[in-house]
A and B are shown apart, each in its own frame.
Chain A
């Protein structure tokens, strides 16, 4: 059954077993794209590959959803650590704490530069029928800036954020078992290589987050175009090399926004990414095909915000 418009059918094993599949479309009309992937490692979650389709957890329509029955604490922790390693994390760190009697807690983390996936895993409650849904949020150490939040309905909370320099982060959680053990698993990925160290930490962190969230290849070279701008809609025409592929990423430099959107329009297609949560960073990838120009459009909804758009060439075309 599809979720957010995507249905996934997996078959693993030494030989071909899945010979034939039947697709039933329940919508009155639909355009369907089939994607066949042969892979050795686990595929990343849909929310990372196509975040615009990630609609979050959905409860049962009749409102009588049963409590989730998670795996044992140790098994979930091991699986989370293994998944991070499979996704390319270069280091994982466990931080342990104990929830309050109300299942809440706050810990201060000192995160090194890089992109972090913070899994907040709690010991399951002793009462099997008790609700078990850990939520968490990460804020700057002074509490002023919300860096990431997970309020989905799931036993464990997952926060993803990037920091361009070592930063103290306050992590608050709730929904854990009363006085239960809670482990924060910090999986670390290095920042993409193509981020100019002259850019501000906020811009580098935002660009890195956009690239990682989009699942885009990290740039390894210096950008071919850098653009600054303000709130509203801004059209940025850019020259591209036919046959080459590009990564465009957008991050806020200053101010607050309520939404940010980045699109790249070529004569025969357009790609879009939008961000409705901090750090309001977005990224798109495209190949120029036969075109020599691309129209990049940045839309930032805000009363006062400055943004930075960076365009990298990431492959294809003549060297």
Chain B
């Protein structure tokens, strides 16, 4: 303690001692003194709000109610608490409000923040069930969506044999990936979203779900952002009263960068960006008025290569001369094992260096690689010396371009045995981690993949770190399923890709064990699997 603070503390003690010896006087203004006001050490009795539902659940076979918390809450407030539960039992979480609260959502998280179950239905009461495997410790939290008043949260153990009866007695919502009730005005919408995302590939997390009005002669606007090297999936589903809609996407300057096509009543787009973009969805009904549901999901950084039908929406992004773009590329790739760039081609027409797609083809007509870039794009090819054809396609305006070749003369031998898989992995890493060289795949392992069996590889996630897992198919095979099963809570992340898939798992204070499960969805194939540890908040720092 500094001398200054010592002095202040001493004075404070003296003053307190002096005051303590004097009987408190009544306020000279006549106001009631502190003696007439007592602060009570009391809490709200959560049981009062939970008992009715608890009795129904108990009659169906649930165990004793454990009240967790009760509080006066306003919109957006959260209340909850931790619970511990035996490995064999299920957890029933319930949130019950007072009459002035119109909508409450309920979530159960693992200690590490993984969502285990959610009830986001637009109703005042919320209930969820979490069954084994689940972590021993869980956090049950309710969020007030509409209204202000009392909310109580409680938990009850349920034996697996009684789960069905309890679920019938108390309307419960499911685990992640199942119907959370958030847009329950659209029966089947959740299943539609799951099917769509499974078909798209990669893995998805919800960003926004909302309902919006549509009217003839009027455009309905909805703004969203796409992060750098991210892709978002936009699904707009019209209500029954709406006979068809048009969906266009504009950038911040009002330029239309994408339009969704028929068939079907729904409109959907996968939008990717190299640099962060602000976009606005413009929804127009063809004739009738009504409501549409807008569901936006987001794929991991760098997942564009794993997706089908991805559209890049970078507008006439950061403009640079060819010299500037080349200089930046050289700066970014300095220090890589790949040697200095060797100019192998250039042109003064055909391509705008700002937004281009590049492809590499073998002499036999096999596509070896493709890439999309705003200022530059990188194609990878592994294998013995040979002839390949590079094709560069302008996405917008024509302009000059150059092609440079860099070579790594001594790549890890495994890459030469599975050259397409190696090139696909390098391309995938390049997008999410910035410039990489072949040595980055030094720890990759070869895997044989079947359609009916899963190839299992155990992994360990160190405390406070994440493990990223990348897999790529070699040869002409298509269709890859990558599952990552977290053994601490039984949660499984599924990522699908055409030729590449990726996922990641993070551990908090405790290390985790997990299982990678790989499968080729169409034909037996071989491929490469790469796992690497990374900081939980690691992001690619270099601009593309």
Q: List 16 A-B contacts (CB under 8 A).
A: A227-B218, A228-B212, A228-B214, A228-B221, A230-B222, A233-B223, A234-B221, A235-B221, A235-B252, A235-B280, A237-B280, A254-B213, A293-B254, A295-B253, A303-B76, A304-B146
| Interface residue B403 (Cβ < 8 Å from any Cβ of A) | no
- List of A residues within 8 angstroms of B221 by Cβ: 227-229, 234-236, 298
Write the chain A residue with the least CB distance to B208: A232
| Given A228-B220, A229-B220, A229-B221, A239 contacting B213 (CB threshold 8 A) | no
- State the Cβ distance, B496 to closest chain A Cβ, in Å: 30
Give the secondary structure class of A's interface: strand
User: What string of 1s and 0s marks CB contacts (under 8 Å) between B226-260 and chain A?
Assistant: 00000000000000000000000011111000000
Nearest residue in B to A297 (C-beta to C-beta)? B223
A306: Cβ under 8 A from any B Cβ? yes
Are A253 and B220 closer than 8 Å at their CB atoms? no
- A306 & B145 in contact (Cβ 8 Å cutoff): no
Q: Is the CB of B223 within 8 A of A303?
A: no
Within 8 Å of chain B (Cβ to Cβ): is A238? yes
- B253→A293 contact, CB < 8 A: yes
Task: Return chain A residues, CB-CB under 8 Å to B278.
Answer: 235
Contact with A along B355-377 (1 / 0, CB 8 A): 00000000000000000000000
Give Cα distance in the complex from A225 to B282, angstroms. 13
A232-252 near B? 1/0 per residue, CB < 8 Å: 111111110000000000000
B-facing mask of A198-228, CB < 8 A → 1, else 0? 0000000000000000000000000001111
Partner of B223 from the list A226, A228, A235 (CB cut-off 8 Å) is A235
Complex interface: chain A residues within 8 A of B215 (CB): 226, 228
Residue from the set A229, A238, A303, A306 with the largest chain B CB neighbour count within 10 Å: A229
Question: B200-218 interface mask toward A, CB cutoff 8 Å, 1 = contact, 0 = none?
Answer: 0000000000111111011
Chain B positions 456 through 489: 1 when the CB is less than 8 Å from some CB of chain A, otherwise 0: 0000000000000000000000000000000000
Residues of A within 8 Å of B213, CB to CB, are: 228, 253-254, 306
- Taking CB atoms, residues of chain A closer than 8 Å to B310 are none
Asked whether, in the complex, the Cβ of B75 is within 8 Å of the Cβ of A230, the reply is no
User: Which residues of chain A come closer than 8 Å to B252, judged between CB atoms?
Assistant: 235, 237, 295
Residue among B103, B212, B253 making CB contact with A237, cutoff 8 Å? B253
When the two chains form their complex, are residues A303 and B75 in contact, meaning their CB atoms are under 8 A apart?
yes
Partner of B146, one of A225, A229, A303: A303
Residues of chain B within 8 A (CB-CB) of A239 are 254
Query: A35 to chain B: closest CB distance in Å?
Result: 33
B219 lies within 8 A of chain A by Cβ: yes
Q: Are A234 and B222 in contact (CB under 8 A)?
A: yes
> How many B residues are at the interface, by size bracket?
20 to 34
Q: State the CA gap A125–B256 with chains docked (Å).
A: 66
Q: Please report the C-alpha to C-alpha distance between residue A175 and residue B219 in the assembled complex, in whole angstroms.
A: 47
Beta-carbon nearest neighbor of B251 in chain A? A237
Pick from B210, B211, B221 the residue with the most CB of A within 10 Å. Answer: B221
Residues of B within 8 A of A228 (CB): 212-215, 218-221
Q: Closest Cβ of chain B: how far from A166's Cβ, in Å? A: 25
Interface residues of B in 62-85 (CB under 8 A from A): 75-76
Q: How distant is the Cα of A24 from the Cα of B543 in the complex, in angstroms?
A: 50
CA of A298 to CA of B75, assembled, Å: 21
Instruction: Indicate if the CB atoms of A236 and B280 lie closer than 8 Å.
Output: yes
- Cβ-defined contact, A227 with B254, below 8 A: no
Contact present for A306 and B212 (CB under 8 Å): yes
CB distance from A142 to the nearest CB of B (A): 17
A226 touches B219 (CB 8 A): yes
In the docked arrangement, what's the CA distance between A295 and B145, Å? 31
Name B218's contact: one of A226, A234, A238, A298 (CB within 8 Å): A226
Is the pair A237, B211 in contact by a Cβ cutoff of 8 Å? no
Interface string of A293-319 (1 = CB under 8 A from B): 101001000011010100000000000
What CA separation (Å) do A236 and B283 show in the bound complex? 12
B53-102: which have CB < 8 Å to A?
75-76
Residues on the B chain within 8 Å of A303, using CB: 75-76, 103, 145-146
Q: Which of A80-115 contact B (CB under 8 A)?
A: none
CA distance A228 to B218 in the complex (A): 7
> B254 near A238 (CB under 8 angstroms)?
yes
| Chain B hits for A298, CB < 8 A | 221
Assess A237 versus B250: contact at CB under 8 Å? Given A230-B212, A253-B213, A306-B212.
yes
CB distance from B232 to the nearest CB of A (A): 15
CB-nearest residue of chain A to B103: A303
The residue from A225, A229, A293, A295 contacting B222, defined by CB atoms under 8 A apart: A229
Please name all residues of chain A whose beta carbon is closer than 8 Å to the beta carbon of B211 when the two chains form the complex. Answer: 230
Minimum CB–CB distance for A42 against chain B, Å: 39
Q: For window 245-290 of chain A, which residues contact chain B by CB distance below 8 Å? A: 253-254
Query: CB-CB < 8 A to A226: which residues of B?
Result: 215, 217-219
> Measured between alpha carbons, how far is A308 from B223 in the docked complex, in Å?
15
Contact string against B for A residues 162-205, beta-carbon threshold 8 Å, 1 for contact and 0 otherwise:
00000000000000000000000000000000000000000000
CA gap between A304 and B254 in the complex, in Å: 26
Give the residue among B75, B145, B253, B254 with the most A Cβ atoms within 10 A: B254
Instruction: Give Cα A234 to B222, complex, Å.
Output: 6
- Residues from chain B with a CB closer than 8 A to the CB of A238 are 254
Closest to A306 in B: B213
Which chain B residues border A253 with CB–CB below 8 Å? 213
A238: nearest chain-B partner, CB-CB: B254
Q: Which of A40-92 contact B (CB under 8 A)?
A: none
Nearest A residue to B215 by beta-carbon distance?
A228
Among B211, B212, B213, B217, residue most surrounded by chain A Cβ atoms (within 10 Å): B213
Residues on A with beta carbons closer than 8 Å to the beta carbon of B251? 237
- One digit per residue, 1 when the CB lies within 8 angstroms of any chain A CB and 0 when it does not, for chain B 134-152 equals 0000000000011000000
Q: With both chains docked as a complex, state the minimum distance between the C-beta of A226 and any C-beta of chain B, in angstroms.
A: 4
